[in-house]
Structure 1
């Protein structure tokens, strides 16, 4: 079946392809040691129909095929329903549009479902094909979670580098370029963080559940995956906070530049206000204007205005309004 991978994995991690056939889970032989891993890519034609016909419980089937999911972990009978998310590394897609991985986990059977290609699953499948697969169902979950973290770490590191570049741009005064990129970084970090924190909680819940088939080694691996997710969530929090600091620096820089411009305009207005008042008074058409009949009065008034302007300029300079500290 295109889009369906079926493996029987023994205790040594050796994987062997199998075919459940028309009987589905009813014909599954669980007598040998190990477990069966069935991975369904519902993005392939016919895969979802195949999954609906293998005999899963209705509740489990609805959970695996739900249109919208969030990371979670809940025990149902002797199995566990778990949803995880991975960064979207498919060509042409947004990295923050995270791809869901839905899982039904029992001691002898693991069913994983994806709606879009998830490279972390391909990594584990390649390991199984090389004979280096997990030796138990819980170990498979831990490996998938660790591979999800491996794929997410370069994305988070890239966001950190972008924030570093933006901080340098702010120091160099390139705030216009910084503002264009800052919004994208904050949006991506917030969307990734929205799924990383619940994913950490889901893995932690699976680790502490009292399930007899989850061994101490499995719990250690799950704890490692939980810590990796915790660190990624904390780094995303730090990126968001750093982006906010950069935004504040940009706004402070813009406010300072605007204040300097307003100060210059205010000083110019303060200098020309008394000059304008004097020229306005001298321009009124009423009798008795001094110097109206004297030919040199214009030059005397002009010289007086120049002297008054220079005096005002000196006063403002002494007050520090013209750049003097």
Structure 2
């Protein structure tokens, strides 16, 4: 059936693809395990999984519509939820795809609702004859491949922030706050899942499961450390984006203040001039120079002189460009 893949994986990592009947759940090789992967995006895959010989609690966890990264022990197995970036065409990378897992010594069941590149990477390695040699090793490989797929996305966010920082330093007017907002949004959403994923992997690594070998725990520890580093980088990206945002706001506020200062100086210069012309323009008796034919030019010269003196005062006060 499309959307369902099963392998019997021997202790040395050799893998054999098997048919998709329910009996395959119990047919693990001696010392090995069976991996059943279900892609519920394919028609009929969900119904097939609902009829699988698994406990109702496990089925509900594997088919839950919404999940967050977590690790919960149940009997001799572990329910583990992880998330990977969405690299499907036309989708947003921050719309992360969940990978739900039931992991025991002889059986691993993984479920995805959308295509997940990290799972395809592990499928390809098995088909090349490089399968994992245990259930813990499989989980570690999946976690490491999820980290591998996230790293280019985080690196791309870092490069975008670098470009915006350079634009702020150069004072380019084309800098877009919308681009900055997109970077912050993606970093926040990714960080929201990376931190719980780190905790889930760390919890799985320290669980007292006899089938988890020292080698498996070492690989899981490596995956945990990579998730920790990615979460820290996302924190740094978010903080750097906030700094760039503050610099943009400061630069625009400074430009606005300069413009308002110029307008204030112009208004301050013309305010006394307007007062004088207003007084001389009132229609009452006693206005000086009414009978003097040169009064107009005398008043104009006086206004120019007053304006020049005011400009000189503002210039000496550093309000007209003087530093």
Identify whether the pair has TM-score above 0.5, normalized to the shorter chain.
yes
Q: Structure 2 regions of 5+ residues with no counterpart?
A: none
Deviation for aligned residue 1:54: 1.4
Q: Distance in 2 between the 1:36 and 1:254 partners?
A: 61
What's the counterpart of residue 89 of structure 1?
87
Gaps of 5+ in 1: none
**Which residue of structure 1 aligns with residue 144 of structure 2?**
146
The corresponding residue for 1:13 is 13
Corresponding residue number in structure 2 for 1:66: 64
Q: Is the 8 A contact 1:5 1:40 kept in 2?
A: yes
**Which deviations, in whole Å up to 9, do the C-alpha atoms of 1:117-175 show, x marking residues without a partner?**
00000000100111101100000000000000000000000000000011111122235
How many angstroms apart in 1 are the aligned matches of 2:320 and 2:223?
Answer: 60
CA-to-partner distance for each residue in 1:90-113, whole Å, 9 max, x for gaps?
000000000000000000000000
Deviation at 1:11, TM superposition (A): 1.4
In the alignment, the residues of structure 1 paired with residue 113 and residue 48 of structure 2 have an alpha-carbon distance, to the nearest angstrom, of 14
Deviation at 1:33, TM superposition (A): 2.3
Structure 1 stretches of at least 4 aligned residues deviating more than 4 Å after TM superposition: none
Q: CA deviation at 1:220?
A: 0.4
**Within 1, Cα distance between the matches of 2:37 and 2:112?**
8
- Rounded to whole Å, the distance in 1 between the matches of 2:269 and 2:206 is 76
**Distance change (3 Å), C-alpha of 1:31 and 1:128:** closer
User: 1:232-259 deviations in whole A, cap 9, x for unaligned?
Assistant: 0000000000000000000000110011
Check the 8 A contact 2:125/2:131 in 1, yes or no.
Answer: yes
Q: Distance in 2 between matches of 1:248 and 1:175?
A: 15
Cα pair 1:317 1:324 within 8 Å, conserved: yes
In structure 2, the CA distance between the partners of 1:168 and 1:31, relative to structure 1 (3 Å rule), is: closer
Q: What is the distance in 2 between the residues matched to 1:49 and 1:20?
A: 13
| Aligned with 2:239 (options 234, 238, 241) | 241
Asked whether the equivalents of residues 24 and 54 of structure 1 are also in contact (C-alpha less than 8 Å), the reply is no
Q: What secondary structure sits across from 1:177 in the alignment?
A: coil
**Cα distance between partner residues in 2 of 1:43 and 1:178:** 38
* Number of residue pairs matched by the alignment: 323
| Distance (Å, rounded) in 2 between the aligned partners of 1:29 and 1:302 | 106
CA RMSD of aligned residues (A): 1.0
| Structure 1 SS opposite 2:176 | helix
1:180 Cα offset (Å): 2.0
Q: Could you state the TM-score of these two structures normalised by the residue count of structure 1?
A: 0.98
Instruction: State the shift of 1:20 in Å.
Output: 4.8
Q: Name the residue aligned to 1:258.
A: 256
